[in-house]
């Protein structure tokens, strides 16, 4: 069974974290989901991607989290979360998954 890309988990972390916070009305629960997702992705990416790329993904994730809050009044809550989740997913794929998937070894 192929390994689920870290990019998918990173993007879903933002979406699921927001969904939990919104559906329960407890923002802290959404925060717990976010922290768990960040930890999972960081541990998974550390060895194959290295510390610099892993830290870059965590920083990009934090910036995406902030950006979703800044964009929400203009785009709406869900569209802003989906947009930044896509940005985080693409960034994670470029920094972590693309390097470790063997695609670069073929080119």
Tens of pLDDT, residues 16-67 = 999 999 999 999 999 999 999 999 999 998 888 999 999 999 999 999 999 9
Strand, coil or helix: 62: helix
**Whole-number mean pLDDT of the chain?**
91
Please tell me the pTM assigned to this model: 0.88
Q: Residue 64: which residues within 8 A CB-CB, separation 6 or more?
A: 14, 84, 85, 87, 88
Residues 4, 21: Cα–Cα separation, whole Å = 25
pLDDT of residue 3: 79
């Amino acid at each position: 069974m192929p390994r689920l890309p870290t990019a998918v988990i990173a993007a879903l972390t933002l979406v699921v974290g927001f969904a939990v916070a919104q559906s329960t009305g407890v923002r802290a629960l959404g925060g717990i989901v976010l922290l768990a997702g960040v930890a999972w992705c960081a541990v998974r990416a550390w060895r194959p991607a290295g510390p610099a790329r892993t830290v870059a993904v965590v920083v990009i994730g934090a910036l995406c989290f902030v950006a979703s809050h800044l964009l929400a009044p203009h785009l709406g809550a869900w569209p802003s979360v989906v947009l930044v989740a896509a940005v985080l997913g693409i960034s994670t794929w470029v920094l972590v998954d693309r390097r470790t998937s063997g695609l670069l070894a073929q080119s």
